[in-house]
Amino acid sequence: MRSRQIEAFRFVMVTGTTTGAADSMAVTQPAVSRLIADLEKDLGFQLFDRFKGRLLPTPDAIRFYQGVEQFYMGLDRLERIAEQIRTQHPADIKVCATSALSTYVFPDAVRRFKTLYPAVDLLIETFSSSEIVTRLQTHLTHLAVTLAFPEVAGIAQELLLEAPHVCAVHRSHRLAAKTVVTAQDLAGEEVLTILPSGLVDWNSVAQALNNAGIEYKKGIGIQNSHTGYSLVAADLAVALIEPFAAPTWANNGVVVRPFEPSISFRYVLAYPLLLQRTESLKAFSKIIREVCQGSEKPAFPLAL
């Protein structure tokens, strides 16, 4: 494979035609066609079906394109870093979290941080807990806010808080009238199942219901808590779920109540040990800890 072949393939995918790719590359249309044909020969599989003069991407082409885009994103990132070095611009901070934690922690944390470091760019990404660990291992993020996970070489974890799951129901549901929901209250209900997610162990959620000896429905599985809250908002199920996304759904008919027996999980600030920690990165870490542990903000949202 040659870089010019990859460039031709990318422009065909972006523009949809060899003519558009030729214009973008400042070459002739036949030149683009030759580059694509040579790339297909080098790869050993077909990238496009030819139909009435048009190139239609094959499933293999779409899969290959995903890798190509990741490559170009990496180049764009290198160019950005080089520009920052040339202009002495402060380095970016890349931080990631699960979607629920990001909506709870980052609005307040970013507001405080940008007041102190307005020139530092924050790049915030959301991933599953297992994906976050992978990004920490490969140094693709500077900092992560996530569920605690088993010890992994090269990654430090600092406890931020411990928070219990809550019972989320639609405001019209019979359980919305209760102050505290117990396991026995869920008999006969459709209770969302939390699907396995890499290093995170959700067994304690199911175990609490199994220990109560009740019969309940478990026909809907979720991996993302915002998906869970959306199903509760539609009154399709009840959920034993993390509390951090609850305020986002309060205006959509969702109420949360404490659940007994308590099912608690630990949440951490995690970072690669070998990655250089700049002054601004240390400051952002400190602000996140203050947001999670400060007296002006509860350790977890109160029942709504």
Taking only the tens place, the pLDDT of each residue in 136-184 is: 998 889 999 999 988 888 999 999 999 999 999 999 999 999 999 999 9
**Angstrom distance (rounded) from CA 139 to CA 274:** 9
**What tokens were used for 90?**
């402060």
Range name among 2-16, 153-167, 255-269 with the lowest pLDDT average: 2-16
**63 & 194 share domain:** no
Of 67, 86, 105, at which residue does a domain stop?
Answer: 86
Looking at per-residue pLDDT, the higher value among 159 and 87 belongs to 159
Is residue 199 included in any domain, yes or no?
Answer: yes
Is residue 299 included in any domain, yes or no?
Answer: no
**Angstrom distance (rounded) from CA 155 to CA 76:** 27
Q: Which one-letter amino acid corresponds to residue 16?
A: G
* Banded pLDDT at 11 (limits 50, 70, 90): confident
**What tokens were used for 137?**
């291992």
In three-state secondary structure terms, 110 is helix
**241 & 103 share domain:** no
> What residue numbers bound the domain in which 279 lies?
94-161+266-293
The continuous run of DSSP H or E covering 228 comes out as helix 225-233
The pLDDT value recorded for residue 258 is: 96
**47 & 183 share domain:** no
First to last CA, the chain: 58
Number of domains in the chain: 3
CB-side exposure of 213: number of CA atoms within 13 Å? 0
- Kindly tell me the burial class for residue 3, based on how many C-beta atoms sit within 10 Å of its own C-beta (0-12, 13-18, 19 or more): exposed
Of 70, 86, 102, at which residue does a domain stop?
Answer: 86
Parallel, antiparallel or unpaired: strands 122-126 and 54-57: unpaired
With a CB cutoff of 8 Å and minimum separation 6, the contacts of 4 are 35
**189 & 156 share domain:** no
User: 132 near 96, Cβ under 8 Å?
Assistant: yes
Q: Residues of the chain with pLDDT > 90: what percent?
A: 48
pLDDT by residue (tens digit) across 275-289?
878 899 999 999 999
Q: What are phi and psi of 61, to 5 degrees?
A: -65, -40
Is residue 304 included in any domain, yes or no?
Answer: no
**114 & 246 share domain:** no
CB-side exposure of 252: number of CA atoms within 13 Å? 15
The pLDDT value recorded for residue 303 is: 39
Task: Reply yes or no on whether the pLDDT at 20 is more than 50.
Answer: yes
**Angstrom distance (rounded) from CA 134 to CA 127:** 10
The pLDDT value recorded for residue 259 is: 96
**172 & 260 share domain:** yes
Of 19, 52, 86, at which residue does a domain stop?
Answer: 86
Is residue 301 included in any domain, yes or no?
Answer: no
Of 301, 279, 168, 286, nearest in space to 229 by CA: 168
Of 69, 77, 74, nearest in space to 6 by CA: 69
The pLDDT value recorded for residue 62 is: 84
Is residue 241 included in any domain, yes or no?
Answer: yes
Is residue 109 included in any domain, yes or no?
Answer: yes
- Kindly tell me the burial class for residue 26, based on how many C-beta atoms sit within 10 Å of its own C-beta (0-12, 13-18, 19 or more): exposed
**286 & 154 share domain:** yes
With a CB cutoff of 8 Å and minimum separation 6, the contacts of 296 are none
**154 & 226 share domain:** no
Parallel, antiparallel or unpaired: strands 122-126 and 264-272: unpaired
**141 & 216 share domain:** no
* Banded pLDDT at 80 (limits 50, 70, 90): low
* Banded pLDDT at 88 (limits 50, 70, 90): low
Question: For residue 34, what is the domain's CATH number?
Answer: 1.10.10.10
**284 & 147 share domain:** yes
